[in-house]
Amino acid sequence: MRNPKSILITGASSGLGEALALDYAAPGILLALTGRDRTRLEAVAGACRDAGATVIAETVDVVDEPAMKGFVARVHAERPLDLVIANAGISIGTGKETEAQEQTQTVMRINVDGVVNTIAPAVALMREKPAPGAGPRGQVAIMSSLAGFRGFPGAPAYCASKAAVRVWGEAMRGELHQFGIEVSVICPGYVRTPLTATNRFRMPFLMDADRAARIMRRGLERDRGRIVYPWRLYLLVRVLLALPTPITDRMLRRLPKKE
Q: Cβ of residue 132: shortest distance to ligand NAP, in angstroms?
A: 29
Q: Cβ of residue 12: shortest distance to ligand NAP, in angstroms?
A: 6
Catalytic residue among 24, 158, 190, 234: 158
Report the residue number, 37 or 128, with the smaller CB distance to ligand NAP. 37
Report the residue number, 176 or 233, with the smaller CB distance to ligand NAP. 233
Report the residue number, 106 or 248, with the smaller CB distance to ligand NAP. 106
User: CB under 8 Å to 68, separation ≥6 — which residues?
Assistant: 60, 62, 114, 117, 118, 121
Q: Cβ of residue 27: shortest distance to ligand NAP, in angstroms?
A: 25
Report the residue number, 108 or 252, with the smaller CB distance to ligand NAP. 108
Binding site for ligand NAP (CB under 6 A): 10-17, 34-37, 40, 61-63, 87-91, 110, 114, 143, 145, 188, 190-191, 193-196
Report the residue number, 40 or 49, with the smaller CB distance to ligand NAP. 40
Residue 158 bears catalytic tag = yes
One-letter-per-residue 3-state SS of the chain: CCCCCEEEECCCCCHHHHHHHHHHCCCCCEEEEEECCHHHHHHHHHHHHHCCCEEEEEECCCCCHHHHHHHHHHHHHHCCCCEEEECCCCCCCCCCCCCCHHHHHHHHHHHHHHHHHHHHHHHHHHHCCCCCCCCCCEEEEEECCHHHCCCCCCCHHHHHHHHHHHHHHHHHHHHHHHHCEEEEEEEECCEECHHHHCCCCCCCCCEEHHHHHHHHHHHHHCCCCEEEECHHHHHHHHHHHHCCHHHHHHHHHCCCCCC
Q: Cβ of residue 215: shortest distance to ligand NAP, in angstroms?
A: 12
Q: Cβ of residue 190: shortest distance to ligand NAP, in angstroms?
A: 5
- Structural contact between residues 234 and 204, judged by C-beta atoms closer than 8 angstroms: no
Q: Give the residue numbers annotated as catalytic, written as ranges.
A: 158
